[in-house]
Amino acid sequence: MSATMSRTFLKMNGLGNDFVVVESKTAPFEPTAAEVRAICDRAGGIGCDQLIAIDPPHGPGSTAYVRFWNSDGEESGACGNGTRCVGWLMMRSAGLTEVLLDTKGGLLVATPAGENRVSVDMGEPRLDWRDIPLAEEMDTKGIELQIGPIDNPRLHTPGAVSMGNPHVVFFVDDAANAPVQRDGSLIEHHPLFPEGVNVGFAQIAARDHIILRVWERGAGATKACGTGACAALVAAARRGLTDRKATVSFAGGDLEIEWRTSDGHVIMTGPVALEYTGKLP
């Protein structure tokens, strides 16, 4: 692994959604897809849902440029829980009360929200079918997709949202028994989504409470997904199922999500944890 050898990393997590974080401010970090898979491999590597690199800023105004890779080796445009972890790390190391993180999915602003808690302004959700993207024109409030028998589908008419990465959100009666493992990969690779898609299974517990499970593109079922929580709240609010602010609960804990009326931005607040540091193999 010539591109990664002897690199120091930090193992971090947000609600159990875990990351290997590498700072590359002094030397380029360009792992191959095979190296990403090896690092993320829980059996033979360090083990994580995503690999994150913190690069020098690409332009004026930002604190750093942040890159994300899924465990399948593919680069991703955004990662909400990972952005919270990076924001916390950079604010702590530099003594800042705000950091601007430039990503493939856009500029994100992180601020402290209590002890080991961070809020991230995830920007405006993208709701046009071309923004997701979809393979054909559809109303993203409820797209024409069903899974299962045509006369009695298990899942149907999800909302579609881009939070810098593509999401579909199915509304289910019981998230605990949703067919995440059965149907997640099938939906991720459905021809309607030319770039693949993250798949949410959202149970509306109250107008201010969503219970969510997510199949992440390139990573599979994860304990939490920050952009998935944002997408679920937006999709639910668009359908009138919730208000524009709600707690989104995962197996690993809760995120507070608000879709502001003032500017249309989505604000995600939740905890971060630093587990340990080490050297890449």
Active site residues: 79, 225
Residues 6 or more apart in contact with residue 6 via CB below 8 angstroms: 279, 280
